[in-house]
Amino acid sequence: MLAPPSPVTVEIIVNGTPRRACVEPRTTLVDFLREHLGLTGTHIGCEHGICGACSVLLEGEPVRACCLFALQVEGLSVTTVEGLAPARGELSRLQNAFCEAHALQCGYCTPGMLIACHDLLARNPRPSEEEIREAIGGNLCRCTGYQQIVDAVKLASGQEAAHG
Amino acid sequence: MAEPPRFRYIGQHRRAVEHRRFVTGQGRYAADIALPGLLHVAIVASPHASARILSVDASAALALPGVHAVLTGEDLQPEIEPMLPGVDAPEVRRFPLARDVVRYAGEWVAAVVADSRAIAEDAAELVEVDYAPSPHVVDPEAAIAPGAPLVHPMRGSNVIFRREFVWGPVEEDFAAAAHRLSYRVRWGRSATVPIETFVCTAAWNDATNLLDVWASIQMPKFPDLLARCLRLPGNAVRVHFDVDVGGSYGVKRGLKHAILVGFLARQLGRPVRFLEDRLENMRGGDMQGPDRLFDVTLAFDDKGVIRSMRMRALDDVGAYAGRSPFQLGKPVGAIVGPYTIHSVAYEAISVLTNKTPQEAVRGFGQAPTNYAIETGLDKVARFLGLDRIELRRRNLIPPERFPYLIPSGTLYDSGDYARVLDKALAAAPYAELLRQREALRAQGRLAGIGVSTCLEPSGGNSSFEPLFNPKNTTTTWMDSCLIRVDLNGAVTAVMATSSSGQAHETLVSTVVGEVLQREPDSIRVIHADSLSALPSNSPVGSRMAIMLGGAAAGAAKRIRAKMLRIAAHNLGVAEEALEWREGAAVLRADPTRALSWARLVEIAHREFHNLPPGMEPGLQESFVWEVPGGGGLPTPDGRIQMYPCHSFEAHVVLASVDPETGKVALHRYVVGHDCGVMISPDVVHGMTYGGVAHGLGAALMEKFAYSPEGQLLSGSLMDYLLPSAQEVPPITIVDHCTPSPLTEFGQKGSGEAGYLGGPAAIASAINDALAPLGAALDALPMTPAAIWRTLRAAQMARAATESTREPT
Ligand code: FES
Ligand code: FES
């Protein structure tokens, strides 16, 4: 018989606020965020590192929250989609551009896409179409065909979208 | 042709109202429903394609702390009703959990319920099931051969549906034709594979006898079927349609999931959630798509005008069936594509195999059929030495012939096919594609141009039900909308289904805003639950712009009519003397005499003494709309009006193939698209881009591959490849508008746009690239390995011919 693993307390700084919960050691970061902190903006699509729906920023770098244990990021700083807007009721430039360019449909991949694009713009304020496609190459979207996501990133970076 | 009518809100760029919650992480998906005391389900699945279940031992699983129950098919089946197929095959009974026999690898055998998903999964591994493997069949042609192992022995055959239709003088047309050409194409087993898997959460209340269900569902008649299978009255099941669904495109029909979860919630008296993991979704989730072999013969004259077609379609529906055999029925409504083909013989065969069951996929079977027809057009062109585009021009239904009755009984409402093709070619531009093709060829790549011209039937009714099952007399497939104007004058519209990315709240508020001339952003749209909802048949068959849009317009017009009546009564004028302007009733002859929106609302809600005699107080109206042109049963020879509206798409693609690896690159992609009046152009364009990407996947990458032993080989996103932003090229959409005469604003449907013609066009481009080497490939997906094998075979064949020539 397997002995139930004893729970551990994990503290992570999520969207600027230290958050703690007592969880099984094998709890993934995405389950920690969703099930224990109630931050359901981060989604799960495959739980094996392919789809990117679970992307969050860890110390400013995009990571797949399904492939990390919460315990591994103890004490580190995580940004989720809920933390992208500058203030409650407002939208970031990128979120705004996603709405304007219709860069989403069902919205399921959107949090991960926003994380990937946010990271891209932080590194490269005026990315080319190719650079955008490369940056979101690890985030699958089944709705949009990516076109309007590319348009949104261009819009957010002050560039004309190439397509009508 | 008349200019399309102009609108105030319809057809304008408008931000989808749904977006704001999604970009801030505030969507509410089925997995986000947190209920106190929630339990979680994990599945024990069959490792065998076909076996007898000898025993199930759950004792070790039940002993694990945190485990609440292990349910087997033996426990469950006697307590519920089976899910039956839509066709007349009552022997093919399907339950959420297998009992005695398993019929595919991945079939659910037991369900474990525990405090967490992780514990449930641990426990599932401890459930010991003894199986005795039995003979299986995974190939559809083998399945119909004599002596094949029977998937459902009670059925006596693996054929779950077969019918041969003859529409028009096929024999005569074939006899009179100068040429005939036969070919076989294969559409591979792929599906829509949404990024969100299927999720269902349910809670039972002992005091109210009510089962609450939150599911990522996109399914007609889901609440009724769920209640029936659980042996509950319909009013004991409340399906909440206000959950956001993370994509579906047809497949999210988790009836068996919901039966299981609903049963468990009731049995345990605790809320229960089942969240499929990715393997479960791909394997036991029963959401794979059409898997079809087409044998086609075309009869045509020297000019390439196709007179008649014989088509046999053999579709592998897997081990059980719900509506999947109907996916051979829907294409009956566009069986000649956009062409003037005069007669058709169509044999539709649905066959059972020991594979994961098939579910509805975007287009409901039309994309494979379109691919089969378009492949034939290219072959005829090649046979006659004609240009493929010119050949299409000779066969396209000309605009003056609409409405156009096709041999199988459907009237196409409107279209201007050659014009849309021309627009796509001009946008490419085609001359430039020809030049680029030569340039690529000069670089040593294999390069080709692809073209397809395809129909998108829309406004989904369910006419294929009576067509494929004489015991089924369904002739209505209505949708509805309820609109309320509150005492403060705000408008709320209630729709009766969940949405999976189609921006229905945007659609409804735009339409209602248009009719009432109120700012659409001020109108709230809510999703009812199944007990407070009017009837709906869910967003299938590209129907919502037509059906929900039509119902919303109908209800809004009733509100407007009522307000005009109130105004006429209060102004002492005839209703006809009034007009509706800026949300107010205005006397046409003297615009200073008017009643404002606020005043009319006040009268309706508070001043019975100012209402016309006999009028019901308040401001609320509903409208239930029947699919236009629907309502009839098929003729004995199987003619029927299928979907009412017909959108059209013309794809033009430039592709190249690396001759060393078989890898394909798409260099230019243009779609000409006509779906009538677009209510929300951004939404239509988005679906079209997404449909092209999905079509690219079906054409080049995606396949549920099976081993000869019946094991699924592509059950993760590492083996089942979805196109990423690096595979999907930039896409240019060129709009055209031929309004539908059948709908409120001239709109047609577009939810399947891009997908219905994309695979055909990409396959056309690849075959154009392979043709100079004498190679051809007529099976999807055209993976690098498949292309490489085709090239290699052509090379060997050439070498063989050369060596046989040598001695002379
Ligand atoms: S859920 Fe983490 S990558 Fe798919
Ligand atoms: S918006 Fe639906 S998966 Fe990307």
Output the tens digit of pLDDT for each of chain A's 164 residues.
456 678 999 999 999 999 999 999 999 999 999 999 999 999 999 999 999 999 999 999 999 999 999 999 999 999 999 999 999 999 999 999 999 999 999 999 999 999 999 999 999 999 999 999 999 999 999 999 999 999 999 999 999 765 54
Residue B636, CA distances (Å) to A85, B106, B374, B523 in order: 62, 40, 29, 47
Q: What is the SS3 assignment for B94?
A: strand
- Backbone phi, psi, residue A16, to 5°: 90, -10
Please state the atom number of ligand 1 nearest to the C-alpha of residue A54. 2
Please state, for a pLDDT cut of 70, what percent of chain B lies above it. Answer: 99
Confidence tier at B2 by pLDDT (50, 70, 90) = low
Interface check for A87 against chain B (CB to CB < 8 A): the answer is: no
* Across B2-6, B7-11, B567-571, least confident range: B2-6
Classify residue B155 as exposed, middle or buried by CB count within 10 Å of its CB (0-12, 13-18, 19+): middle
Q: Do domains B19-23+478-625 and B292-459+642-797 have the same CATH topology?
A: yes
**A41 with B116: Cβ contact below 8 A:** no
**pLDDT for B808:** 47
Q: Is A12 an 8 Å CB contact of chain B?
A: no
Closest by CA to B673, choosing from B408, B456, B510, B451, is B456
Return the residue in A129, A143, A150 with the most chain B beta carbons within 10 A, the one to mutate for interface testing.
A143
pLDDT band, very low/low/confident/very high, at B804 (cuts 50, 70, 90): confident
**For residue B334, which amino acid is it?**
A
CA-CA distance, B401 to B395, in Å (whole number)?
13
Q: A97: which chain B residues are within 8 Å (Cβ-Cβ)?
A: none
In this structure, the number of other CB atoms found within 10 A of the CB of residue A60 comes to 12
- DSSP bridge pairs for B52: B101, B132
- Give the closest-approach CA distance of B576 to chain A in angstroms: 41
Residue for token pair 């047609």: B748
pTM of the model: 0.97
Sign of the CA dihedral B711, B716, B718, B723? positive
The alpha carbon of A149 and the centre of ligand 2 are apart by a number of angstroms equal to 10
Residues of chain B in contact with residue A24, where contact means CB-CB under 8 angstroms, are: 116, 118
* Residues B619-633, mean pLDDT to the nearest whole number: 92
Query: What CA–CA distance (Å, rounded) separates B166 from B467?
Result: 13
Indicate the length of chain B as a whole number: 808
Which among B457, B197, B225, B250 has a CA at the least distance from the CA of B360?
B250
Three-state SS at B142: helix
- The DSSP secondary-structure symbol of B429 reads T
- In tens, the pLDDT along B697-706 reads 999 999 999 9
Q: What is the mean pLDDT of residues B614-626?
A: 97
Question: What pLDDT, on a 0 to 100 scale, did the predictor assign at position B85?
Answer: 93
Query: What does CATH list as the number for B33-134+198-275?
Result: 3.90.1170.50
Instruction: Check A51 against B29: CB less than 8 A apart.
Output: no
pLDDT above 90 (res B672): yes
Residue A98 to residue B19, Cβ atoms within 8 A? yes
Q: Which of A71-75, B474-478, B720-724, B730-734 is predicted with the least confidence, judged by mean pLDDT?
A: B474-478
The predicted model gives B410-417 an average pLDDT of 98
Task: Compute the distance between CA of residue B703 and CA of residue B193 in angstroms, rounded to an integer.
Answer: 11
Q: Which two tokens stand for residue B267?
A: 């049995």
ipTM > 0.85 (yes/no): yes
Interchain proximity A48–B685, CB inside 8 Å: no
CA nearest ligand 2 atom 4, residue: A141
Distance A63 CA to ligand 1 centre (A): 10
DSSP secondary structure of B661-703: T--EEEEEEEEEEE-BS-SSHHHHHHHHHHHHHHHHIIIII--
Domain ranges of chain B: 19-23+478-625, 33-134+198-275, 292-459+642-797
The CATH number of B292-459+642-797 is: 3.30.365.10
Cβ of A140 less than 6 Å from ligand 1: no
How many Å apart are CA B80 and CA B78, to the nearest integer?
6
Pick the residue of B724, B726, B731, B752 with the most A CBs within 10 A to test the interface with A by mutation.
Answer: B724
Q: Which residue of chain A comes nearest to B755, CA vs CA?
A: A145
Judged against a pLDDT cut of 80, whether residue B759 lies above it is answered with yes
Q: What pLDDT was estimated at residue B3? A: 56
Distance CA B461, CA B250 (A): 15
Give residue-wise pLDDT tens across range B372-410. 999 999 999 999 999 999 999 999 999 999 999 999 999
Is the peptide bond preceding residue B403 cis, with omega within 30 degrees of 0? yes
CB B392 within 8 A of CB B341: no
Sheet holding B524-527, edge to edge: B524-527, B491-495, B479-485, B620-625
pLDDT tens digit sequence for B308-357: 999 999 999 999 999 999 999 999 999 999 999 999 999 999 999 999 99
- The alpha carbon of B276 is separated from its chain's Cα centroid by a whole number of angstroms, namely 21
Give residue-wise pLDDT tens across range B302-318. 999 999 999 999 999 99
Q: Which of B376, B677, B394 is nearest to B550 (CA)?
A: B677
Q: Are B693 and B26 in contact (CB under 8 A)?
A: no
Are B543 and B537 in contact, with CB atoms under 8 Å apart?
A: yes
Beta bridge partners, B673, equal: B649, B735
- Report the pLDDT value the prediction gives residue B807, as an integer from 0 to 100: 55
> Which tens digit of pLDDT belongs to each residue from B88-116?
999 999 999 999 999 999 999 999 999 99
SS3 B170: helix
B63 and A140: CB-CB below 8 Å? no
Reading phi first (left if > 0) and then psi (alpha if -120 to 50, else beta), residue B767 is in alpha
Phi-psi region of A26 (alpha: psi -120 to 50; beta: other; left: phi over 0): alpha
The mean predicted confidence, pLDDT, of chain B is 97
Q: Which of the ligands is closest to the CA of residue B248?
A: 2
CATH of domain B19-23+478-625: 3.30.365.10
- The answer to whether the CB atoms of A108 and B247 lie below 8 A apart is yes
Asked if residue A52 has its Cβ within 6 Å of ligand 1, the reply is yes
Among A117, A139, A144, the mutation site with the greatest number of ligand 2 atoms within 8 A of its Cβ is A144
pLDDT recorded at residue B1: 45
The alpha-carbon gap from A75 to the nearest alpha carbon of chain B, in Å, equals 23
Reported confidence tier of residue B4, pLDDT bands at 50, 70, 90? low
Q: Is B606 helix (H, G, I), strand (E, B) or coil?
A: helix
Q: Domains of chain A, with CATH numbers? A: 8-84 (3.10.20.30), 93-156 (1.10.150.120)
